[in-house]
Structure 1
Amino acid sequence: MKPQHVTLLKSVSAPAVHPDGTHAVVSVVRPDFDADSYVGQLWSVSADADRAPRRLTRGFRDTAPAISPDGQVLAFIRAAAGGKPQLHIVEAGGGEPVAVTDAPLGVGAFAWSPDSRSIVFAARTPEDGRYGTVDGVSAGGEDARLITDYQYRMNGVGYTADKPQQLFLLDVPALTDEPWVAPAGRALKDAGKDASKDAGDARSSGKLPDARQLTHAATDHDGAVFSADGSHVYFTAALHEGHDRDLVTGIYRVPVGAAANADEAPAPEEVRPAAAGTGTLSIGAVRESRDGRHLYFLAQDLGPEGLDFVARNTALYVMPPAGADAVRLSDPETQDIAGPLEPAGTDSVLVMNNARGAVELLRVGPDGSSTALTTGPRVVAGAAEAAGTVWISFTDAGTSGDVAVLGGGEPRTLTDFSAPLREEAGVLVPQELTFASPDGYPVHGWLVMPEGSGPHPVLLNIHGGPFAQFTGALFDEAQVYAGAGYAVLMCNPRGSAGYGQEHGRSIKERMGTVDMQDVLAFLDGALEKFEELDGGALGIMGGSYGGYLTAWTISHDHRFKGAIVERGFLDPVSFTGSADIGWFFGGEYTGRSAEQMEAQSPMARIGEVRTPTLVIHSEEDLRCPVEQGQRYFTALKQQGVETAFLVFPGENHELSRSGTPHHRRQRFEQILQWWGRYLPTATNAAS
């Protein structure tokens, strides 16, 4: 795979399954160089493998499909080129999509009511005078912001307090109605000046339905879903006293009749907690079972202060909707459960579990009974059940996204959206490996070997997080580097997710200890096992926490010919005041004393670095702010280490995953140029 092949990476949404189970709809999105954006449409996938998938829509970017419970209407999010994403609906059998929202900053997640008559959606609500709400007031001309809270920014979003995410309810218009037509000519003249002004305004002209605002608190409201009987909307939010000083969130519900019209807010007492006794939990998702007897939710226990988030596995809980003590159904020591929660049968839910470099699908009942529906080296990205059939979207070593149905053994794959990638770019299958650390601890990971007999230069790639995991699924980074002649090593050292809570928490207040030991042991084990690897031509690289551990390692180990430190967590001291998560993250991982921070800080050891290092950062990164990279680069340069600073405008912490296609390609090209200089191969040498 080469940098220009990123346009062949097609990501597939969770399947929206028709109630009769005969077919599902997914969005298929890919990077596009011409538009320098992400484009995609909706596809219909039949349960009959003999029927090829067909494209349903032709919008610029159509995503998040959801079929109404009665099977009649398909709702989805459409974004025009340069426009905000808005909710659209179309007849499930096909037709012309109709916009039903015009939210100033766009629409986020949404959910259908059980009777298919209403949709609840989330949208950020800007303060008057901000974000283009007043003509002629640019971003630089807005009023000053007075900040009094810790939590006021978010990577990829920016400021949050002046545009909290609220929930809205709209009645779905009948698609059989006559389409609205703007008055023109004599009709417009006869209607007068006011009608002329209103003709360009879709809402006042009656083209769009009114959306009734359900929430108003000055904080984000997430994960909205209807109760099984349609009478309430559940959501998660931090509405408790002192919510700015912890990471706790709760489950709340509001009756759908709380706002009679667009100008009437629900009374405060109508927005009330739905689960008591969860004061130390961070709630991630909530959903009632189809029979309405069980309220499931996902949560992490953050300890008595509500801040101990380090490597806290997420657990599945259940309680009666009417209220009672919640019962934990999964063991957070051994399982890390992820959502969204999807109903299965009458009383169960589908959830995902991060497990040893895979993501498996589980079906869990209210008594805690659990069945693994998928196994093996596969990453389940989404799932849904209808008419007794479970559908999944997934990635594995050969695809960046496809759709399958389950039943009786291996999943039956129904699509092959990655065929062009394999045919044009080629895909190398990773080898799964385990090597022992010096203390005997097993370190699990993968090797992506380039073609040819070698010896191959080796790149040790370290993931971010740190509570995250590499998987055996197709990974564009490894494919591009291996395609250029490099052997790529990836492992999940202690501190990673997927191997139990103790594994993840083992680096709390001990960053750069057993985690560095593990990645170097994995490297040494591979060098000893494979004669095709060149132990004298080693590079090391990583992003975010991977940038941290790369910078930390090259201050201890000088055998690497080159290094790349990307969007790194490099100085816990300045991180505290500059990062969106700085007020808690560094202190929980390194400890809060100055001595602890210095003992685990790459900046404190930068004088020991000898390795030529490329520093990569994005100007709008709020997670690991650009000052981390700026200071690290400057210090390297001042002490005479060969270095360069690659800075991307307009990008945030997610550049490598969701940055603009042009910047993603340019990033790969610059990385290969760096390695071509310090670790040349037959196909990648410095010009």
Structure 2
Amino acid sequence: MTKRGMTAEDLYQLKYASDPQLSPDGRTVVYVETSIDEEHAYRNHLYVRELAAAEPRALTTGAVRDTYPRWSPDGSQLSFVSKRSGTSQVWLMDATGGEPRQLTFCKAGASTPIWSPDGRYIAFSALLDRGETFHDREGEGEKKATAPKVIHVERMKYKSDDHGYLYEKTRQLALVDVQSGEITALTDGPYHHTVGSWSPDGQWLAITANRTENPDMQHSLDVYLIPIAGGEWKKLTSSNGTFFYPTWSADGKKLAYIGSVSETYLNATQKKVWVYDLESGQQTCVTADWDVQIGDSTIGDVRSPGHPNPGAVWTEDGSALYVIVSERGNSGIYRVSLGGEATRIVGGNRNVYGFTFHEQQQTVIAAISDPLIPGDLYQIDLTTGAERRLTELNRDFFADVELSVPEEIEFTAQDGWNVHGWILKPVGYQPGEKYPLVLQIHGGPHSMYGNTFFHEFQLLAAKGYAVLYTNPRGSFGYGERFMQACCGDYGGKDYLDLMSAVDYACAQFDFVDESRLGVAGGSYGGLMTNWIVGQTNRFKAGVTDRSICNWMSFYGVSDIGYYFSAEEIQANPFTNPEKMWHHSPIRLVANMETPLLIMHGEQDHRCPIDQAEQLYITLKHQGKAPVSFVRFPGASHELSRSGDPEQRVLRLQYTADWFATYMEPKVPSLQQ
């Protein structure tokens, strides 16, 4: 049977599994299946799979978004987060199914439910406005609500690309009684708090928070212990770094967390595993000698970012921890002893983005993607190493679709550093034919391309393009020195890495048509696309998404601008404006002759749309042509990953059409 290539509209057909959670007895896993329905709306449904059974069973169905399932300690109930009432709230249901019961009614919603060890309470978090309490209920006062006449802002961090305009809202924590629904507040004040985990005896809750004197300027994130019965908090870290996901050892004597200590870099420091001994008060970095990134740093465009991170998961005897590690375009699961010895448990050329572990059953359930699989669940037997695939969500769809398999490449940049990446041949590739090539540049810059599914790349391959994607200096996965090498040097050696990648592809692969090159990227990738077309006319077309063009203005309009610029550009507008201007692509507009498509979300708080507006107007005013500007109303910085599905499809269509206009690909015959 002749297969067809990927289309933009195929986004509506793709599914993936995430957030697996094993039951207390280790015999059943609950997980989230994400899809897009006939109305082009996201749907999240909960499924359970008894590991001895042949098929999973749906727990929730219909026009709902149900996420974050968590078992009660006795395995009889499941808590989860759902928007079925209008805002995200905590719900409960019987583990065998049935009608769910709403547990929280917080005005702005609730999230991250964590069961107490005795099953009596659930800790959760909620955004509260100034003067608001957990007892202000969802929907109250909505009929009388009107747009405010004025908003008085006093904080620097008053907006977020994740949550929009926060103004005076802060994330607070509370307990809810599972039976009565009574809520007890645990935190307050002008600080954000994130729930972590309960101590085994149920007496303490480990959380993270920035409770420094000036959270706008001091960007540390500390680990605290809150006594459930009331009393003085215990602060475990020293406000000299950022720490996340605290987890208790089974005996309650130690706490593990992921994070980094750094006075120089906030974003460009690798995360490591730390253990705090509660008896001695000693904090130890157990991966201090391991030059890798703890956690999944892989960039993809099918699964939305922000999947629940299991953190460091303890073995029952407290001698070791299981963690996800990112290295050389792959992410896998490692067992790390308290002495720092690391053993890979789940590896290969793929992307592990979540897992759950059960010691007695010696079982890991991992959520895994690779270049041909958007995201499925696998069971790994830790005794034998045997692996079994539990889901195959896109089997029927892919039966009719031809995918391109990436080829791994490694080359030497101009100054001798090694750079790693991949190239996709066009779908329907024929030896002896010449094909246009698109260089794709990831965002971050501290993230990494890797062995994961990428819908956009497969679409371009189906349209007749070779696709080149690499991890230039600044990327995770190749050690901390490599990751920090772009700081203060945006458009320097990272630019040369990208150009070396193109030189390598043109020299190494005879199917690449050197006269038909395109370049595209989003966020940092958009910045570098802007920079590249200001440095060279080598490319026939460029597509820049949610980009930065002017570091001077970015400083004041981005939700992270004032501190991100200081770290990444190592300058600010007052002490070194010349350096900020030097690294701004808008400075190079006079050199820009490449046809450029500019796309941006109107509600992007990370790289606000003024960046696109400046570039577009300047190019137009200077008579640079052709340039086109596409705006996406309501879209945030996550447009291409978790944005409105129809906008995501339109974005892909605009991208493909722009390259087709200026690069004339030969569409494979199988698509006719």
| Structure-2-length-normalised TM-score | 0.90
Q: 1:255 aligns with which of 227, 230, 246?
A: 227
Contact conserved, 1:274 with 1:323, CA < 8 A, in 2? no
Paired residue for 1:381? 353
2:652 matches 1:668 = yes
Q: 2:310 aligns with which of 336, 340, 354?
A: 340
Supply the AA of the counterpart residue of 2:71.
Answer: I
Paired residue for 1:160? 166
Distance in 2, matches of 1:424 and 1:137, equals 53
Query: How many Å apart are 1:37 and its aligned residue?
Result: 2.4
Q: 1:621 aligns with which of 604, 608, 613?
A: 604
Paired residue for 1:195? none
Distance in 1, matches of 2:555 and 2:145, equals 30
Distance in 1, matches of 2:324 and 2:130, equals 37
Query: How many Å apart are 1:301 and its aligned residue?
Result: 1.8
2:502 matches 1:542 = no
Paired residue for 1:314? 271
Distance in 2, matches of 1:152 and 1:684, equals 50
Supply the AA of the counterpart residue of 1:111.
Answer: I
Distance in 2, matches of 1:3 and 1:116, equals 46
Paired residue for 1:301? 261
Distance in 1, matches of 2:82 and 2:643, equals 19
Contact conserved, 2:191 with 2:215, CA < 8 A, in 1? no
Contact conserved, 2:72 with 2:79, CA < 8 A, in 1? yes
Any idea what the Cα deviations from partners look like across 1:610-629, whole Å, max 9, x if unmatched?
10100010100000000000
Contact conserved, 1:539 with 1:563, CA < 8 A, in 2? yes
Distance in 2, matches of 1:165 and 1:66, equals 21
Distance in 2, matches of 1:322 and 1:152, equals 39
Query: How many Å apart are 1:134 and its aligned residue?
Result: 3.5
2:616 matches 1:611 = no
Contact conserved, 1:335 with 1:498, CA < 8 A, in 2? yes
Query: How many Å apart are 1:343 and its aligned residue?
Result: 3.2
Distance in 2, matches of 1:491 and 1:677, equals 25
Paired residue for 2:301? none
Any idea what the Cα deviations from partners look like across 1:81-129, whole Å, max 9, x if unmatched?
8x21221111212222111111222222121111222111111123469
Q: Secondary structure at the match of 1:617?
A: strand
Any idea what the Cα deviations from partners look like across 1:413-450, whole Å, max 9, x if unmatched?
11111213422433322111111112221111111111
Q: How does 1:438-457 map to 2 (within 5 A)?
A: 438-450=414-426, 451-453=428-430, 454-457=433-436
Supply the AA of the counterpart residue of 1:510.
Answer: D
Distance in 2, matches of 1:369 and 1:467, equals 26
**Structure 1 residues 649 and 211: CA distance shift in structure 2, 3 A:** same
Paired residue for 1:418? 394
Query: How many Å apart are 1:146 and its aligned residue?
Result: 2.5
Distance in 2, matches of 1:132 and 1:652, equals 25
Distance in 2, matches of 1:524 and 1:421, equals 36
Q: 1:390 aligns with which of 361, 364, 376?
A: 364
2:4 matches 1:25 = no
**Structure 1 residues 410 and 356: CA distance shift in structure 2, 3 A:** farther
Any idea what the Cα deviations from partners look like across 1:175-220, whole Å, max 9, x if unmatched?
xxxxxxxxxxxxxxxxxxxxxxxxxxxxxxxxx7122211112221
2:198 matches 1:226 = yes
Q: How does 1:556-595 map to 2 (within 5 A)?
A: 556-592=535-571, 593-595=576-578
Q: Secondary structure at the match of 1:362?
A: strand
Q: Secondary structure at the match of 2:542?
A: strand
Unaligned runs of 5+ residues in structure 2 are 1-5, 296-308
2:29 matches 1:51 = no
Distance in 1, matches of 2:435 and 2:145, equals 53
Distance in 1, matches of 2:632 and 2:144, equals 27
Distance in 2, matches of 1:228 and 1:434, equals 47
Contact conserved, 1:250 with 1:273, CA < 8 A, in 2? no
Q: Secondary structure at the match of 1:623?
A: coil
**Structure 1 residues 610 and 329: CA distance shift in structure 2, 3 A:** same
Distance in 2, matches of 1:218 and 1:252, equals 16
Query: How many Å apart are 1:372 and its aligned residue?
Result: 1.4
Q: 2:533 aligns with which of 530, 554, 574?
A: 554
Query: How many Å apart are 1:161 and its aligned residue?
Result: 4.1
Q: RMSD across aligned C-alpha pairs, in angstroms? A: 2.1
Contact conserved, 2:18 with 2:354, CA < 8 A, in 1? yes
Paired residue for 2:330? 358
Contact conserved, 2:124 with 2:195, CA < 8 A, in 1? no
Paired residue for 1:202? none
Supply the AA of the counterpart residue of 1:638.
Answer: H
| Structure-1-length-normalised TM-score | 0.88
Any idea what the Cα deviations from partners look like across 1:295-347, whole Å, max 9, x if unmatched?
101112231xxx62242101111012346121011137611112432333231
Distance in 1, matches of 2:169 and 2:36, equals 28
Paired residue for 2:303? none
Q: How does 1:124-139 map to 2 (within 5 A)?
A: 124-127=127-130, 134-136=141-143
Q: Secondary structure at the match of 2:536?
A: coil
Distance in 2, matches of 1:114 and 1:424, equals 48
**Structure 1 residues 37 and 107: CA distance shift in structure 2, 3 A:** farther
Contact conserved, 1:114 with 1:226, CA < 8 A, in 2? yes
Q: How does 1:50-449 map to 2 (within 5 A)?
A: 51-59=54-62, 60-80=64-84, 83-127=86-130, 134-136=141-143, 141-142=147-148, 144-173=150-179, 209-258=181-230, 270=231, 272-276=233-237, 278-303=238-263, 308-322=265-279, 324-331=281-288, 334-338=291-295, 339-341=309-311, 342-347=313-318, 348-386=320-358, 387=360, 388-407=362-381, 408-409=384-385, 411-449=387-425
Supply the AA of the counterpart residue of 1:549.
Answer: M
Q: Secondary structure at the match of 1:675?
A: helix
Q: Secondary structure at the match of 2:421?
A: strand
Query: How many Å apart are 1:684 and its aligned residue?
Result: 9.5
Q: Secondary structure at the match of 1:673?
A: helix
Distance in 2, matches of 1:105 and 1:612, equals 44
Q: Secondary structure at the match of 2:111?
A: strand
Distance in 2, matches of 1:137 and 1:3, equals 43
Query: How many Å apart are 1:13 and its aligned residue?
Result: 1.7
Q: Number of aligned pairs?
A: 632
Q: Secondary structure at the match of 1:671?
A: helix
Query: How many Å apart are 1:30 and its aligned residue?
Result: 1.7
Q: Secondary structure at the match of 1:25?
A: strand
Distance in 2, matches of 1:581 and 1:223, equals 23
**Structure 1 residues 120 and 137: CA distance shift in structure 2, 3 A:** same
Distance in 2, matches of 1:163 and 1:38, equals 27
Paired residue for 1:198? none
Contact conserved, 1:300 with 1:312, CA < 8 A, in 2? yes
Supply the AA of the counterpart residue of 2:583.
Answer: Q
Distance in 2, matches of 1:223 and 1:468, equals 25
Contact conserved, 1:332 with 1:501, CA < 8 A, in 2? no
**Structure 1 residues 606 and 587: CA distance shift in structure 2, 3 A:** farther
**Structure 1 residues 321 and 437: CA distance shift in structure 2, 3 A:** same
Q: Percent identity?
A: 30
Q: Secondary structure at the match of 2:282?
A: coil
**Structure 1 residues 312 and 610: CA distance shift in structure 2, 3 A:** same
Supply the AA of the counterpart residue of 1:406.
Answer: I
Supply the AA of the counterpart residue of 2:235.
Answer: A
Q: 1:529 aligns with which of 508, 517, 520?
A: 508
Contact conserved, 1:113 with 1:119, CA < 8 A, in 2? yes
Supply the AA of the counterpart residue of 1:409.
Answer: G
Query: How many Å apart are 1:224 and its aligned residue?
Result: 2.8
Contact conserved, 1:350 with 1:383, CA < 8 A, in 2? no
Unaligned runs of 5+ residues in structure 1 are 174-207, 259-269
Supply the AA of the counterpart residue of 2:458.
Answer: Q
Distance in 2, matches of 1:584 and 1:630, equals 23
Contact conserved, 1:343 with 1:385, CA < 8 A, in 2? no
**Structure 1 residues 625 and 88: CA distance shift in structure 2, 3 A:** same
Distance in 2, matches of 1:30 and 1:360, equals 25
